[in-house]
Structure 1
Amino acid sequence: MAGNSDPLTPRAKLAVTAGKAVAAASRAAGRGSGSVIGGRVALKLDPDLLARLAQNLDVVLVSATNGKTTTTRLIAEALRAAGPVVSNALGANMPAGITSALAGGSDARYGVIEVDEKYLAGVARDTDPKCIALLNLSRDQLDRAAETRMLAENWREGLTGSKAVIVANADDPLVVWAASSSPNVIWVAAGQMWKDDAWSCPSCGGVMQRPGDDWFCGECGFRRPTPSWALSGDHVLDPHGSAWPIHLQLPGRANKANAASSAAVAAVFGVPPQVALERMYQVQAVAGRYDVVQFQGRDLRLLLAKNPAGWLETFSLIDPPPTPVILSVNARGADGTDTSWLWDVDYTRLTGHPICVIGDRKLDLAVRLEVANQQFQVCENLDQAVQLCPPGRIEVIANYTAFQDLRRRVGN
């Protein structure tokens, strides 16, 4: 529970100071925010620093393949109704980045922390969270994360007997299986648009039956739990059956689902749904995502899509044809170097849109679009692609490092 006593030993204070100095030097050298390198240095000097920084906070951890940065931001906004919040809002979500973020929040009561899926169990051990939000698990960075069921198994083992309240998506069988090892779970019907990672039962390997919005395993009886919170159109239904309107500046069904999960988390901390959802309206963009920027006389909307589940959700929110679309795909370390996931994305949804293709792996993407019978042009860079588009709105969809490249180019 939060308090004001100073939990930091002299060694921990030295580690924090050194980490901040290294981060500042990294920023001054133009190498990004410096949070990761600063956190690494701090943890070298005091390996227990993350646990020490977290011990005076009420901590929420947010993990998922899609939506964790946005949901972290929505929860942080909601909890500010109840007290000061520290959060790794820019998405540095491994232990070094998390340590760096918490070191900057000395007066905070709540820690709202996005955690990379692979690190969830370890960070949960260190931070003793009051609540953990689990949104979805789908294929991503195939060279690094291997298959989704292994991640679900890591979560299941790591959360066994956890004292935290788990807020979990009842519509994702992998998340349900992972969360079921915990004694205290709040189920949210947040939906699942991408289902291709959940056709076999994570419990026994049997074939999943999926009538309507329900799901169950015909062989072992593993089935969708009854949710106490639900997304219903533009409303969140709470456990008492009250419907609360969702007003977001962020587009798309996926963000309404993120808001529903965030409202359930806020309620764990005593923030009522109405207050939580009203505060979420403040969020306009998340680390540049959904921003509309002026560039060469056009309005570019910047959209991040890192894996098949993310691309599917993104296609559902772009403006209708003939709005031009620029697609950019890289395969650097932070993206995952395996681009075979491109074949899992249904690019026929772009039919009717003029498409320009850029990025390190533009030729991989071009082959995929060719097979999907799409009309497209391969361009050298963003400037050339934008020149080929008429004045007005352009939807720009990019994966992780390609998105960072775009933000730098447009000065966002």
Structure 2
Amino acid sequence: MSQLPLRAQLASALGRTAATLSRATGRGDGSVIGGRVGLLLEPDLLRKLAHEKKLALVSATNGKTTTTRLIASALQELGEVATNAFGANMPAGHVSALSSNKAAPYGVLEVDEKYLPEVLSTTEAGVVTLMNLSRDQMDRAAEIWLLAQKWRRALAGKPAHVIANCDDPLVTWGASTAARVTWVAGGQRWHEDSWCCPECGGPLDRAEGIVNADWACRECTFSRPEPNWILDGEDAVDPRGDRWRLNLQLPGTANRSNAVIALATAAAFGLEPQRALPRLREVKSVAGRYTTVERDGRVMKLLLAKNPAGWLEAFDVTRPDRPIVLSVNAQGPDGRDTSWLWDVDYRILTGRHVYVTGERRLDLALRLDVAGVGFTLVDTFGQAVTALPPGDIDVIANYTAFQSIRTEFGRAV
């Protein structure tokens, strides 16, 4: 790799120093402040750091952090990989990630959906991985069809190889202007944001109850492309028709979808499934997600859910015979608007011992009451844990609530 210009070297070094100081003083992991310092000194630092790297950008509403981790793990089979492992998914986080491993020939960057066009233009990444779009942080982000439209415009005329989930109509529409697309049938359980055709506004027809069913518009020619890769139960099916049993440590259907998309992305770098899969199988926790922690005989599985689609997937990996703690905040990173709680079907929790906490626990309590789900309201997560007997417990929290819980257990990863 060619040497960075002197100004960029200085900006990168000072950014790393700021990140180190942030970690040393307990203010955070440094993945944002380091990038901000670097960009302040050299506004074009991201472009310079990305130059000559073989780079993949990963974007979606849900599953970005996990899929980024899976892809980065797979590509380590080829060489060193720079990545934003803890989800700092805007340009400052990207600068920190690339600065921390400037010599790495490969990079895998999780990218906020809204920032994807800017980051693609800046880095000229060769691979773009797109998984799903659903409502999230409505007070901050635009309507999701506008995000898909921005993706379309950003990809048009670019040489990037796009890996896209063809089971999501909005992702398909967003990716369809790309020069080269590998379509993955990764499934889509949450359909509430994709009943209408993004091309003409007409109704989309699809078979109910089938995760990766064909779909098509009644009023125009927009329809599901023929997939190159397919998630079929526990297996990934590659473009040659060969089946690969996933055997992941990460639980749930959503993570099998993430894995087949990761395999397709690895293949775009020339890495075959037989070499990529063992790396994917080693991943058992991602930035605290799916971690099991213990306190006083209580063994807790930590799950992150930020929006209705995410809660649906989180419920999929809980156990109905376990008590469950739900925690919801509404700080800036979560989105201030909690109206999305009314789009989650909480009736699946009926009959379980449910404890409700978090800064917006009253919002969640009202939603559960209307759904007819019994619950116990507590002021803090610690009170919920203390109130439960020793044994296995499921915990679902949205973003800042989840980070607060992680901190109590030393930010386990």
Q: Which amino acid aligns with 1:355?
A: V
The match for 1:71 is 67
- Contact persistence 1:296–1:386 (CA under 8 A): no
Q: Which amino acid aligns with 2:291?
A: D
Shift of 1:22: 1.6
Q: Which blocks of at least 5 consecutive residues in structure 2 are unaligned?
A: none
**CA separation in 2, counterparts of 1:388 and 1:288?**
23
- Contact persistence 2:320–2:349 (CA under 8 A): no
**CA separation in 2, counterparts of 1:183 and 1:383?**
52
The match for 2:202 is 206
Runs of 4+ with >4 A deviation = none
The match for 2:233 is 233
Matches within 5 A, 1:5-404: 5-6=2-3, 8-211=4-207, 212=210, 213-321=213-321, 323-404=322-403
Q: Which moved more, 1:103-112 or 1:250-259?
A: 103-112
**CA separation in 2, counterparts of 1:26 and 1:257?**
35
**CA separation in 2, counterparts of 1:274 and 1:27?**
38
**CA separation in 2, counterparts of 1:409 and 1:373?**
31
Q: Which blocks of at least 5 consecutive residues in structure 1 are unaligned?
A: none
Q: TM-score, normalised by structure 2?
A: 0.97
Cα deviation code 1:310-361 (max 9, x no counterpart)? 100110111122x100000000000000000000001001112110000000
Q: Which amino acid aligns with 2:21?
A: A
Q: TM-score, normalised by structure 1?
A: 0.97
Cα deviation code 1:255-291 (max 9, x no counterpart)? 0000000000111111111211111011110001100
**Structure 2 residue matching 1:176: 3-state secondary structure:** helix
Q: Which amino acid aligns with 2:136?
A: D
Q: Which moved more, 1:28-37 or 1:258-267?
A: 28-37
**CA separation in 1, counterparts of 2:267 and 2:34?**
34
Over aligned residue pairs, what C-alpha RMSD do you find?
0.9
The percent of aligned pairs where both chains have the same amino acid is 56
Cα deviation code 1:62-121 (max 9, x no counterpart)? 000000100000001111111111100111000001101100112211000100001001
The match for 2:409 is 410
Shift of 1:38: 1.3
Q: Which amino acid aligns with 2:407?
A: R
**CA separation in 1, counterparts of 2:82 and 2:379?**
41
Shift of 1:28: 2.3
- Contact persistence 1:326–1:395 (CA under 8 A): yes
- Contact persistence 1:88–1:97 (CA under 8 A): yes
- Contact persistence 2:263–2:277 (CA under 8 A): yes
**CA separation in 2, counterparts of 1:251 and 1:392?**
20
